[in-house]
Amino acid sequence: MSGHGFHVHGPHDHAVEHHAHGSHDNDDGFASRIAVMTAVLSTVGALFSYQGGATQNDAMLHKNAAAIKKTEASNQWNYYQAKSNKQNLAELAVALNEGEKKEKYQQEAERYKGEKGEIKKEAEKFEAEVKELEKKSDESMHLHHRWAQAMTAIQISIAMAAISLLTRKRWLTYATYLAAGGGLVLGGMAIAHL
């Protein structure tokens, strides 16, 4: 610095003046990138969370439907057993009777035997539906867990982004990208039903 209105800036003076006027290109860019990344990750996390809840609800609905079908199958098997008991009584009556009565009870035994066949088919159909619904429930729960894993990785990446912004450690930003990438891979696996 010299007198008579002539002023010379040194490199340090220029940096201080530049900083005082609010021009923080390097720091502001870092903060802006982290803020945008956090917003994107929060959006992705919200989508993953929604999908996780939806697949959990699907699993519960399938399990509930399986329980209903299991009850229907049990009812059919009880009905089958009742027809078996009636058939057995009719067959006993055939053995104990002669003539017209024997013929009548023989027809009843045959009728019960035929009815049992239809009832058995219906019960087995319900049991097959139960197995299918339980399989769907298990698949939905697997997807729910995959979505939950993806959401957890995204939440970890958001926390790491906040820590990297507070500490200004760029290496934490890379760890944030790694956690976010893991979350996206897990989300992709859920989409692909893996």
Q: Where are the domains of the chain?
A: 29-191
Both tokens assigned to 146: 């995959």
pTM over 0.85, yes/no? no
pLDDT over 60 at 70, yes or no: yes
Per-residue pLDDT reduced to its tens digit, 115-173? 999 999 999 999 999 999 999 999 999 999 999 999 999 999 999 999 999 998 889 99
What is the phi-psi region of residue 193: left when phi exceeds 0, alpha when psi lies from -120 to 50, beta otherwise? Answer: left
Q: Cα 137 from chain centroid?
A: 10
Look at residue 30 in the predicted model and tell me its pLDDT.
87
Q: How many helices (H) and strands (E) does the chain have?
A: 4, 0
Both tokens assigned to 69: 């079908």
